[in-house]
Chains A and B, each alone.
Chain A
Amino acid sequence: MHANEQALSVTAIDVAEPRAVFEGIEKLLTPEGEAKAFWRLRWWSMRTVIRQTLVRTGFQLSIVVFLSSILWVGLFFLFADGFLFLKNTVPADLHMDVIEVMYGVFFVTLMVMLAFSTGIILYGSLFRAPDVAWMLTLPVRPERVFLFKYQEAVALSSWAFLLLGSPMLLAFGVVEESPWFYFVMMPLFLIFFTHIPGALGGIICLGLVYRLARRPKVALMIGVGALLAAIFGMVWLFKDALAQQTLAPEWFQQIFSRLQFTQHRLLPSWWLSGGLLEAGLGNGQESLMFLCLIAANALFFRQLAVWTAAAIFRGAYARSQARSGPTRRVRTSWLDKTLWSLSGFLPGQVRILLLKDFRLFRRDPVQWTQFLIFFGLLLLYFLNIRRFTYETYYQGWVNMVSLLNLTVVALLLATFTTRFIFPMISLEGRNFWILGLLPVRRETILWSKFLFASLGALLPCCGLILLSDGMLGVSPGIIASHQLTCVSLCLGLSGLAVGLGATIPSFREQSPAKIAAGFGGTLNLILSTVLIVILLVLGALPTHLLLGSWTPGGSSLVELHPQLGPFIRSWWLLGQLATPVVGLAFAGIPLSTGIYAFRRIEF
């Protein structure tokens, strides 16, 4: 018998007709044969993607590599500085304890995040991807299909971990002057470790779909329950510590004692942190023991995931395709009516297009949940900002934090306009037979999208900045300047995303995430960052230098250094005048090029 072939053994069944003898039945592949075929498939696909990326999007790739390198080097020096600070300031017997707790928290968090992200990625790739439906009609084992997707999911969910974790671990090794084997063992530790939460995420994903695919309400209740449990857990973890004065010795003790659970000996994250610390300090035998422990568990959990897939993946897939419920009927929501009433001053066609985009937004949970989660987290943070009483130690923190809060809101908005506004025109292209046949001028479509993005950005962003400034108690002058900067940012970022989206659309791509991750999306994100930097330097920074208090007595920088007064005042004045001009220019120029390009696009 051929190495790749095996006879199929079948148990007796109540057959409808005698089993026919077919040559093909004898040719079913062994697991090794299947693995070989699937690895070849991956290699062929990857080879084409790499070749195309290098040829077609070399510029984009260079930018991504360049920015990632800057981020990586920046993180390396940041961590190196942190480890050096700990080494020099914390007593020798305590500083490794501090690092151990820090590693424990980092790796526990990472383990949970990796399990979640692998599970979520696997859900999308196993139960929603069209290639799986095709693979499952082939004579392959279901566990092979699972493994094919599992490998992708682990790689996708852990690359960010490797990008962010590696500079920290390297910095530790450099600062502690670790032996050579620390640097050799480090990648092995990380690679084996990712499979433990990855495989657990896969098993949980398969189990949940198998058990709950037909009961979406139960799945939702479990999800809400898990979220509430996590919130209560966090509250329990830090409630005593928050009652203490922040950064005081008692606060540290409370935090340390509550984080002791991250050092539990049965946690794989502790094996990782323990092994890395031992290797870093030169204890080769101990670290090798931890490496073997992690590798053995990684293989075990991976095998467990394969067995689970063999047992339930095909059934889970069938159940996931069979979900049904009552037909979802949509009605005009009060939100639609409110928008319709408020937009009464706009031309009729713009109002209709605005309402259409709003309906698409509110009926797409991916968009509004991300919007709610990120802006909701910022809202919670701003509401609780007074709990951190840093002014006890540093008077200028109010000044600094209010400026940083403005920056965070701006960067978050830039991410949203890139992810959700930039792809809108590209996605419209697929439906252009609808809009293209309507008596609507093409520029009206762009103006309506600009209005949609601007209105959607102005309300939450200006509201959040107002809340942050109010909670921090900054002066009215700073509040006014922040609002001016925020309005200019909202208009500029919205115009940029709509204009660039129309100038360099991607009609072939159907996934908004892939459109945003393409060349146009990357360029939009870079230009958005440039706009944020310009507006912060022009408008917000001189306001803080001129009006913010930097000492316990409330003195501004100009009062402390009168010789800088004329320069900062001129900077401030010019900045306030230039801020709306720059914001409008960043909106107007891309919009006009977008309108020009959009008029000429052939669909």
Chain B
Amino acid sequence: MISLKGVTREFGTNVAVDSLDLEIPRGELFAFLGPNGAGKTTTIKMMVGLLRPTKGSIFIGGYDVTTQFRACAQLIGYVPDQPFLYEKLSGLEFLQFVAEIRGMSREQADRAIAEQTERFGLSGFLKDLMETYSHGMRQRMVFAAALLHDPPVLIVDEPMVGLDPRSTRLVKDLLRQRADRGGCIFMSIHTLSIAEEIADRIGIIHRGKLVFLGTLEQLRRELAAAESSLEALFLQLTMEEEAALAGSANAAQSGPKGHP
């Protein structure tokens, strides 16, 4: 459903994402992990069409993101890490606009708005201006807007930021249910315990390179740590990568000076 083929993104001399190959089928909840600045948000921005790959291609449902963006956008529900809401619109007006842009009929829109706002506990605030919403309400509104057209692909960047424990539970259940019903979920997240709890597969990106791709069990096997938590495995893997990179850098530096 989501397919990244040799995707590279360069910013000047800095390679933010390096030859990333990834296939995420229907019915999978994929957790994308990595330290700060590893290339997670850059990858997501390329998937939703805000950045273009320097090399490689991205397909959503078989459509090329670069050349057939509108078709891709219609398949995607996107929850960004820093969500935007029109402060001067009410929640209802915002959702009606999103529904209209998604081509939904009035009846479909009314039904979907009622369903999503009920699910996210926003029904009582629909006529309030969004400038009065708390951070958590804004986050829930963004989820409601992203799910309005029941997209087959959901891309979420740090979905739990600002959510209270109840909303966090709600979102976790929702993501899991959508994947179980055949949806494709791409989730970038820092909270490793949540990834451990709900993800089918994990990808770990470090300095633009995908350093691990597989299930949690595969990661444990690879690092020979049977009972370790994802947090311990993540730290072990990224530190090993750091050490390997530092070692090669030292070797490169010492080489010309004639040291062994």
Q: Spell out A's residues near B (CB within 8 Å).
A: 2, 4-5, 8, 10-11, 13-20, 22, 24-25, 27-29, 33-34, 36-37, 40-41, 44-45, 48-49, 52, 130-131, 133-134, 136-141, 214, 314-315, 317-318, 321-325
Contacts and interface: CB of A to CB of B under 8 A. Distances in A.
Nearest to B149: A24
Contacts, number: 137
Contact of B105 (A2, A10, A20, A130): A2
Interface in B198-227: none
A115 B93 CA distance: 34
Contacts of A314: 49, 69
B71 A8 contact: yes
B70 interface: yes
Smallest CB-CB A-B distances: 7 pairs? A27-B103, A16-B3, A19-B62, A324-B11, A139-B73, A134-B84, A324-B12
B75 to A, nearest CB: 6
B50 interface: yes
B23 A138 contact: no
A141 B74 CA distance: 12
A27 B88 contact: no
20 contacts: A8-B70, A13-B68, A15-B63, A17-B62, A19-B62, A22-B61, A22-B74, A24-B102, A25-B75, A27-B103, A33-B103, A44-B89, A44-B93, A52-B88, A131-B86, A133-B80, A137-B80, A138-B73, A139-B69, A318-B52
A34 B3 contact: no
B68 A138 contact: no
Contacts of A323: 11
A140 B51 contact: no
Contacts of A131: 84, 86
Contacts of A20: 1, 61-62, 152
Contacts of B129: 48
A10 B69 contact: no
Interface of B: 1, 3, 5, 9, 11-12, 14, 23, 45, 48-52, 57, 59, 61-64, 67-71, 73-76, 78, 80, 82-84, 86, 88-89, 93, 97-98, 100-105, 129, 149, 151-152
Contacts of A40: 97, 100
Contacts of A34: 101
B48, B73, B105: residue with the most chain A Cβ atoms closer than 10 Å: B73
A27 B63 contact: no
Contact of B50 (A22, A29, A36, A318): A318
Nearest to A20: B61
A41 B86 CA distance: 10
A134 B88 CA distance: 16
Contact of B70 (A49, A130, A140, A321): A140
A136 B102 contact: no
A13 B70 CA distance: 15
Nearest to B64: A13
Contact of A137 (B11, B14, B49): B49
A461 to B, nearest CB: 39
Contacts of B75: 22, 24-25
Contacts of B68: 10, 13
Contact of A324 (B14, B76, B82, B105): B14
A171 to B, nearest CB: 38
A311 to B, nearest CB: 13
Contacts of B84: 130-131, 133-134
A14 B66 CA distance: 13
A321 B51 contact: yes
B101 A140 contact: yes
A321 B3 contact: no
A8 B70 CA distance: 9
A27 B62 contact: no
Contacts of B49: 136-137, 314
Given A8-B71, A11-B67, A44-B88, 16 more contacts: A8-B70, A10-B63, A13-B67, A14-B57, A16-B23, A18-B62, A20-B152, A22-B75, A25-B75, A33-B100, A131-B84, A139-B101, A314-B49, A315-B52, A321-B45, A325-B12
Given A10-B63, A22-B61, A324-B11, A48 B89 contact: yes
Given A20-B62, A45-B89, A322 B73 contact: no
